[in-house]
Structure 1
């Protein structure tokens, strides 16, 4: 019975992530995500093909923009995203990873917290146990392995502080587009 339940859950996740999240109608995707995630605030925009892993540990604030092909992982801990966050396409946010020092390829996890007004550019990878402070910017292609302080600009592999942000943080990145 447990094996059948596992197969059904895997099939449902496949249908949800690969089919339903690929529908070109934002209102349907938004409705489905509000049913599935632990918390989804108002005014968020999710572009097509957002992939969700363990939705019950994912908490999303208000007025965020999630571009195409983002992975949101809640398997190893909570994923908490504040308000007015802009996440570029092909970004992966992980709460679970394999332990490279484990003889058995064991996993280890940790919460990821992304505070308000964070701007994450395209193709960024955020690893478990990381907190990104309010107003921080993460440059394209960066891998975030440690906490990033508020109002800083980080870049690289691994991401390091390369500057300070001077914005007054008065923008709303959540724009809605037809058929995206």
Structure 2
């Protein structure tokens, strides 16, 4: 384990991805491509496939068929979390997406980097946590080791390389604090899925 100077972030240097892991990722890629990439209406089927390959998936989760998930075994999706079209979930280390959190189109959540001072440019990984009700908007980037607080918003094309405070809106590269966000909690209207409230 290494600590990145100036950030306090803990990275695992040279993580091991053995042949079994590589074969599993290959099989996963083929399964998603052949059995999920065309299944837009079948949310439950995609949740099943993710669970089958080791992801922890809560109820009502939405994952778009065009989303790219590097390794499901490192993915945790809490109840009603959503991953939109063409989002890139690069989970070399664990990525946790909280309840009702949304990762929008073409957003990139990345847990891998390299040691730029290492002789061999070693791979380093660190987990990412996206809190409940947070929103990673279109084309935004969240880097290794970052915690996005509950209810935080990262604006379009924003780049988060440091933790984002709860219920705060950020934008820019690097992301800068813009304003506070009103706190709320979805308890009064149960949800049947990502978009649809339950009929009473």
Q: Assess same fold via TM > 0.5.
A: yes
Q: 1:66 aligns with which of 66, 69, 83?
A: 83
Q: Which moved more, 1:146-155 or 1:78-87?
A: 78-87
Unmatched runs of 5 consecutive residues or more in structure 1? none
Cα distance in 1 for partners of 2:174, 2:91 equals 22
Cα distance in 2 for partners of 1:33, 1:168 equals 29
Aligned-pair distance for 1:6? Answer: 6.9
The aligned residue for residue 60 of structure 2 is: 43
Classify 1:98/1:168 alpha carbon distance in 2 versus 1 (closer, same or farther; 3 Å): same
Classify 1:105/1:32 alpha carbon distance in 2 versus 1 (closer, same or farther; 3 Å): same
Work out the number of aligned pairs and report it.
Answer: 173
Say if 1:85 and 1:117, in contact at 8 Å, map to a contact too: yes
Unmatched runs of 5 consecutive residues or more in structure 2? 1-17
Say if 1:99 and 1:105, in contact at 8 Å, map to a contact too: yes
- Of Structure 1 and Structure 2, the greater helix share is in 1
Please tell me the root mean square deviation across aligned C-alpha atoms, in Å: 2.3
Cα distance in 2 for partners of 1:52, 1:147 equals 22
The answer to which structure, 1 or 2, has the higher relative contact order (CA under 8 A, 6+ apart) is 1
Cα distance in 2 for partners of 1:67, 1:15 equals 20
The aligned residue for residue 98 of structure 1 is: 114
Does 2:74 align with 1:54?
Answer: no
Q: 2:38 aligns with which of 6, 23, 35?
A: 23
